[in-house]
Amino acid sequence: MNRRPFDPRLLHRVPAARRDLMLLAFLGVLAAGLVVVQATALAALLATAFTGRLDRVALAGFVAAVAARSVLVWAQGAVSARLAATVKAALRADLLGAVARHGPGWVAGQRAGQLATLAGRGLDALDAYFTGYLPQLALSITVPVAVLTRVFVADWSSAVIIALTLPLIPIFGALLGWQAQAATERQWRRLSLLGGHFLDMVAGLPTLRAFGRARSQTEAVRRMADGHRVATMKTLRIAFLSALVLELVATLSVALVAVPVGVRLLGGGLALQTALLVLLLTPEAYLPLRAAGSRFHASMEGLTALDEALTLSGSAPAPAGRAGTLPDGRGEIRFESVTVAYERTTALRDVTLTIRPGERIAVIGPSGAGKTTLLNLLLGFVAPTAGRVTVGGVDLADADLDGWRRQVAWVPQRAHLFATTLADNIRLGTPDAEPARVAAAVRDASLDDVVAALPDGLDTTLGERGHGLSSGQRQRVALARAFLRDAPVVLLDEPTARLDAAAEAAVLSATHRLITGRTALLVAHRPALLRGVDRVLRVADGRVTELTPAPAGEVR
């Protein structure tokens, strides 16, 4: 079996699981006692049956023990199912919390497909662990101890044989389990790669179809799925081999007890009831260990996912600045010798910049020059490799980022809309906003005509990613969010990108209203966005320079 059949981090991460784990252990103790009671009653019943009479007390005890064990099995199933649901819900919440704390860059680094596979199929595989293996693990501890104690009282020599052979099952199980663990980890890695690749392919399907590459990617997914199938079959072969070995060891161990007991019974050295008791109890000593071994192999995929979930969610740092100083969004924003370096490139190099309160600054430059990184620094999505960013004199590295973000309105290149009502999408950053404020934000964002054309107005439920709205309309929804937020700092990342002339005009009009009277940083690719700004900064090769006056031609 695995070197870590139970991860102690689970108790720390999911405190609510402790009660159910303790209850499972208690039920295991009760089950062990009932095993002994049932075997003792059955042995007495069979021994008296050979004399031609019926022991009613033994019969009643046997029936009661069987009924109690049935109820106990039901209770173990109910408790373990509740435990599995509790742990899965808590781990999924932890994973989402880790994503929220690390930010968008971490999700891309860890691959969205891997996280989606882990939060879905991976954690669902824990059902076999909590409902099958853990209850059996409790029985594999309590039942052998109870059986050994009872057999030792009845026939100490048989108890010695059981005590010497019992360790063989976990030893052989551990030897096979190490091989199964490595195979399961390979299987899980292949599944994670398959999930990530499939997600990428679905997201890029229009591009693949346009360039005639959809069929080749389908073949790639088929090859990866076949690799996962092969890895799964290898894992199953090890599991079946383990079950065969454990059954063989248990059968031979029972025979080592049964043969001497039979010989002594024929020779008159052992009473019939005692012999029956030993023969009934001996298989019960090995059964929980054999069952735990086979059920553990069935739950190894879930255990691998559990380890990865605990590692990923535990690797997230404490939310930056939850107890830090709250910056004042109406204060001065300063970049002091800021450098942002990634694994393969440097996005910004030694940037020193001051943004005065109420100042409107446009940022231009070629794609990939580092413009969006400037915004991500202010949002706290990216931390400087060197230097610091301050707001009102407060370093964002030590600030209350949640409080700071509440003072920022952000309009990204591609506004993400959720599959809920239009009103809820607009209220995303201000969920308690009154209907009058929502209506005012709709007017300010030039969204009136869109709302009027929808069947249920603001109560119309949008499709996934805002399906049903055009790019320009989705961008105006993002502007309405910013108007409703009414924040002192506004960050806009190319709000007119990929829009036609009519949509661009509507978005530009709303954008100029939004930045009036606020501190604004606009990433711009269109010259129309430069009207009304106070300064224009150019970012090239990670360095920021100021252009004076603002260029009137096409922005590049």
User: Rounded to whole angstroms, how far apart are CA atoms 307 and 273?
Assistant: 49
User: Rounded to whole angstroms, how far apart are CA atoms 421 and 456?
Assistant: 9
The residue type of 368 is G
Q: What is the pLDDT of residue 462?
A: 83
pLDDT digits (tens, 9 = 90+) for 111-155: 566 677 777 777 888 888 888 888 888 898 899 999 999 999 988
**Winning range, highest mean pLDDT, from 60-64, 99-103, 544-548:** 60-64
User: Rounded to whole angstroms, how far apart are CA atoms 289 and 24?
Assistant: 17
The pLDDT of residue 35 is above 70: yes
pLDDT digits (tens, 9 = 90+) for 417-476: 888 888 888 888 888 888 888 888 888 888 888 888 888 888 888 877 777 787 778 888
Contact between 476 and 446 (Cβ < 8 Å): yes
pLDDT digits (tens, 9 = 90+) for 151-168: 999 889 888 998 888 888
- The average confidence (pLDDT) of the chain is 80
Q: Compute the average pLDDT of residues 101-116.
A: 64
Q: Compare 505 and 18 and report the one with higher pLDDT.
A: 18
Q: What is the pLDDT of residue 29?
A: 93
User: Rounded to whole angstroms, how far apart are CA atoms 446 and 35?
Assistant: 75
Q: Compute the average pLDDT of residues 288-301.
A: 75
The pLDDT of residue 321 is above 70: no
Q: Which residue has the tokens 């006056």?
A: 549
**Winning range, highest mean pLDDT, from 62-66, 95-99, 190-194, 474-478:** 62-66
What's phi and psi for 16, nearest 5 deg? Answer: -65, -15
Q: How confident is the model at residue 383 (pLDDT cuts 50, 70, 90)?
A: confident
Q: What is the pLDDT of residue 253?
A: 84
Q: What is the pLDDT of residue 553?
A: 47
- The helix (H) or strand (E) run that includes residue 352 is strand 346-355
Of 16-20, 88-92, 502-506, the one with minimum mean pLDDT is 502-506
pLDDT digits (tens, 9 = 90+) for 254-283: 888 888 888 888 888 888 888 888 889 998
Q: What is the pLDDT of residue 405?
A: 86
Per DSSP, which regions of 149-237 are E strands?
none
The residue type of 288 is P
Q: Which residue has the tokens 């929220």?
A: 100
Q: Which domains does the chain show, CATH number per domain? A: 9-315 (1.20.1560.10), 333-547 (3.40.50.300)
DSSP string, 419-446: SSBHHHHHTTT-TT--HHHHHHHHHHTT
User: Rounded to whole angstroms, how far apart are CA atoms 150 and 159?
Assistant: 9
SS3 332: coil
SS3 334: strand
Burial of 14 (0-12, 13-18, 19+ CB in 10 A): buried
% of residues, the chain, pLDDT over 70: 82
